[in-house]
């Protein structure tokens, strides 16, 4: 799979000798079942559930028939509101088989966000857990029925799920087959709501072709076969879980292993060890937490070979530990966004460590990437600009939102990511931050990631995040939120001395805040927006006291 790209300009195309899959998710699933009928397909450890490919397929048949009995028709939106469980995966494949569109609902949502999503996508049926952590889902769904006119029925996994399944027994195989035969691979199959920093979330609409091919080609780079067992502690409501996870596994005959309903580092390591997992997924903060598990040395990582780290670039010190202590010698870094199904770039197995920790790899097969300036012109290699992606993976649209669709998807079908990036002469992409995430101090552009990577080299720092806070003198100042390793103490003076002479003076944080936790989304991403808000409030209070 050689990559061809123009040497002078930041443009690259992903040449491939493997063709795109021109089929629906349901057809691809059926091929895997025919090929690996007795192979384990789906395991949910916390539910004590196991299914072979044949059993998994038969169970999706029951779910698909029950949906048809409800009156679900091709193109209907079906909401799912739940943390990770095997029923989530059954619904994912059952809805795809009959041409309905699964609407992923963030488990962290509350009533206001829930009703917005249900109304915006005009959901007919919702499948939900009864509760999750402090959220009473049933109570909120009952409220939603009063204010969401298209919502006809709710099914709760721990209450009415079995009754729902019973209904499907009157639906014939011929009825199901007729529904399956109507589907085209360019039809929408999934809507995922992006969590923007302002305004309401937007419904990214993805087709069978989008997510099936993205999952498949991610697995190609991971060298997945039917022998792989993939531990997936990342949430299914997000592309990381349902595409890089579920779709990728099934497209290669691998086994999906669900360790728990939500991320727990101790449980994850136990499941990796007990289930002899060959691959492990997570964002860097998850791997950091796993490395800090008290009984880390008691777990067996001998079967681990590969995995995916995404969400943000991994600090070099953490990557070295993941490779050496967790035996993941073939870790792959992925970059993308929900709007691109999600992966646009990925490191190949065998990528040097330096490229693993400083880049997000090279363009994925069958995709194009260019980096442009503020005037839309392609910049030369080595220059900063906005990363744009084009190809099979680009979303169909934002659901019922042509205005916002036009803002990110131009007339040539380039998806404008809003991410700053640099391309080197080998086609490797480095993400230097969001366009609005750069810290600009006294005219100097500062990359938060650069400072974070440096501070990770200080032995007693467990985790660190860099943000910009307002400054009358310089416009912005650098602030560090720091988590210290248990049992150690670190002072501002120590850290300032450590930085002195090693990084430019304007990059040394002016403010240090020592914390136990960072504000995070349910998918494990750091909420820097919230960190800024907290920091600005506290700095104002400090100034008033003076």
Per-residue confidence (pLDDT) for residue 45, from 0 to 100: 98
Mean pLDDT across the stretch 174-178? 98
Q: With CA atoms as reference, report the closest residue to 448 among 462, 464, 470.
A: 464
pLDDT of 125 = 98
Kindly list the structural domains of the chain, giving each domain's residue range(s) and its CATH number in brackets, ordered by start.
51-183 (3.40.50.980), 438-544 (3.30.300.30)
Please give the pLDDT value at position 2: 47
> What pLDDT shows up at residue 265?
97
Mean pLDDT of 209-221: 98
Q: Can you tell me the distance from the alpha carbon of 536 to that of 84, in angstroms, rounded to the nearest whole number?
A: 36
pLDDT at 312 over 80: no
Q: Report residue 188's pLDDT band, with 50, 70 and 90 as the boundaries.
A: very high
Residue 313 in contact with residue 449, Cβ under 8 Å? yes
Residues 350-381: pLDDT tens digits?
Answer: 999 999 988 999 999 999 999 999 899 999 99
Closest listed residue to residue 68, CA positions, set 157, 176, 166? 176
- Run of H or E residues at 408: helix 402-408
pLDDT digits (tens, 9 = 90+) for 43-92: 999 999 999 999 999 999 999 999 999 999 999 999 999 999 999 999 99
The pLDDT score that the predictor gives to residue 1 is 45
- Say whether 217 sits in a helix, a strand or coil: helix
The larger pLDDT score, comparing residue 314 to residue 517, is at: 517
Confidence tier at 541 by pLDDT (50, 70, 90): confident
> What average pLDDT does range 106-114 have in this prediction?
87
Do residues 63 and 78 make contact, with C-beta atoms less than 8 angstroms apart?
no
Q: Give pLDDT tens digits for 31-46.
A: 999 999 999 999 999 9
Scan for tokens 């939120």, then name that residue.
Answer: 481
pLDDT value at residue 133: 86
SS3 (DSSP) at 448 = helix
Provide the pLDDT for residue 197: 36
Q: What gap in Å lies between CA 239 and CA 244, rounded to an integer?
A: 7
Structure tokens at 414: 């380039």
* Confidence grade of residue 289 (pLDDT, cut at 50, 70, 90): very high
In which element (H, E) is residue 538 found?
A: helix 528-545
CA distances from 544 to 165, 227, 478 (A): 62, 62, 21
pLDDT at 545 over 80: no
> Is pLDDT at 384 greater than 80 in this prediction?
yes
Torsion sign, CA atoms 100, 101, 102, 103: negative
pLDDT tens-digit map of 394-433: 999 999 999 999 999 999 999 999 889 999 999 999 988 6
What DSSP state is assigned to residue 527?
-
Mean pLDDT taken over the chain: 93
User: Rounded to the nearest 5°, which phi and psi values hold at 351?
Assistant: -60, 135
CA 22 to chain centre: 24
pLDDT of residue 370: 98
- Rounded CA separation 546/542 (Å): 6
pTM score over 0.75: yes
Phi, psi of 435 (to 5 degrees): -55, -40
pLDDT of residue 525: 79
Pick the closest to residue 29 from 72, 92, 102 (CA basis): 92
- Percent of the residues in the chain that have a pLDDT greater than 70, as a whole number: 97
Record the tokens describing residue 375, joined without a space: 């005037």
Task: Tell me the C-alpha distance between 512 and 468, whole Å.
Answer: 12
Kindly report which listed range (52-61, 152-161, 438-447) carries the lowest average pLDDT score. Answer: 438-447
Checking if the pLDDT of 6 tops 50, the result is: no
Q: Give percent helix, percent strand, percent coil of the chain, each to the nearest 5.
A: 35, 25, 35
Strand pairing partners for 385? Answer: 421
Alpha helices in 230-308, H assignment, sequence order: 239, 248-251, 265-274, 284-291
pLDDT at 199: 54
Q: Is the pLDDT of residue 438 over 80?
A: no
- Segment 457-477 mean pLDDT: 91
Helix (H, G, I), strand (E, B) or coil at 434: strand
pLDDT value at position 7? 53
**pLDDT of 195:** 57
Give the pair of three-digit tokens for residue 26. 């349901």
More confident residue, 125 or 420: 125
Q: How far lies 80's CA from each of 62, 103, 117, 231, 246, in Å?
A: 17, 6, 11, 22, 16
Confidence of residue 196 (pLDDT cuts 50, 70, 90): very low
**pLDDT value at 108 more than 50:** yes
């Amino acid at each position: 799979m050689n990559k061809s790209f123009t040497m002078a300009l930041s443009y690259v195309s992903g040449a491939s000798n493997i063709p795109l899959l021109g089929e629906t998710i349901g057809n691809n699933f059926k091929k895997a079942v025919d090929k690996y009928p007795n192979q384990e397909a789906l395991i949910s450890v916390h539910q004590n559930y196991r299914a072979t490919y044949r059993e998994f397929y038969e169970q999706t048949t029951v779910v698909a028939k029950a949906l048809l009995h409800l009156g679900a028709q091709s193109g209907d939106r079906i909401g799912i509101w739940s943390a990770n469980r095997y029923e989530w995966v059954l619904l994912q494949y059952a809805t795809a088989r009959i041409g309905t569109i699964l609407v992923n609902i963030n488990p962290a949502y509350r009533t206001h966000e829930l009703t917005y999503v249900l109304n915006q996508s005009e959901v007919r049926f919702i499948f939900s857990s009864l509760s999750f952590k402090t959220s009473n889902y049933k109570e909120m769904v009952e409220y939603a029925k009063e204010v969401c006119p298209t919502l006809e029925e709710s099914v709760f996994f721990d209450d009415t799920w079995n009754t729902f399944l019973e209904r499907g027994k009157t639906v014939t195989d011929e009825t199901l087959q007729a529904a399956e035969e109507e589907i085209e691979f360019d039809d929408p199959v999934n809507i995922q709501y992006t969590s923007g920093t302002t305004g309401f979330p937007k419904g990214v609409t993805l087709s069978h072709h989008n997510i099936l091919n993205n999952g498949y080609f991610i697995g190609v780079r991971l060298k997945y076969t039917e022998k792989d067992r993939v531990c997936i502690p990342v949430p299914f409501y997000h592309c990381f879980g349902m595409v890089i996870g579920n779709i990728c596994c099934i497209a290669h005959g691998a086994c999906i292993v669900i360790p728990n309903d939500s991320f727990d580092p101790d449980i994850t390591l136990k499941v990796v060890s007990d289930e002899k997992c060959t691959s492990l997924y997570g964002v860097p903060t998850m791997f950091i937490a796993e490395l800090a598990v008290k009984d880390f040395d008691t777990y067996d990582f001998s079967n681990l070979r590969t995995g995916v780290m995404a969400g943000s670039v991994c600090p070099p010190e953490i990557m070295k530990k993941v490779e050496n202590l967790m035996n993941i010698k073939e870790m792959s870094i992925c970059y993308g966004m929900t709007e691109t199904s999600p992966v646009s770039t990925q490191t190949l197995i065998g990528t040097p460590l330096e490229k693993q920790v400083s880049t997000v790899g090279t363009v994925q097969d069958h995709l194009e990437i260019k980096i442009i300036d503020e005037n839309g012109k392609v910049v030369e290699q080595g220059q900063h600009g906005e990363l744009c992606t084009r190809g099979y993976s680009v979303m169909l649209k934002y659901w019922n939102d042509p205005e916002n669709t036009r803002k990110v998807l131009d007339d040539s079908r380039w998806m404008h990511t809003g991410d700053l990036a640099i391309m080197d002469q080998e086609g490797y992409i480095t993400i230097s931050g969001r366009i609005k995430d750069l810290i600009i101090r006294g005219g100097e552009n500062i990359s938060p990631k650069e400072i974070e990577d440096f501070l990770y080299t200080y032995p007693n720092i467990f985790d660190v995040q860099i943000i910009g806070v307002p400054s009358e003198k310089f416009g912005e100042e650098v602030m560090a939120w720091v988590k210290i390793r248990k049992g150690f103490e670190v002072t501002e003076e120590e850290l300032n001395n450590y930085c002195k002479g090693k990084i430019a003076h304007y990059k040394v944080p002016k403010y240090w805040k020592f914390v136990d936790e960072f504000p995070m989304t349910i998918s494990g991403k750091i909420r820097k927006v919230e960190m800024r808000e907290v920091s600005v409030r506290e700095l104002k209070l400090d100034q008033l006291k003076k």
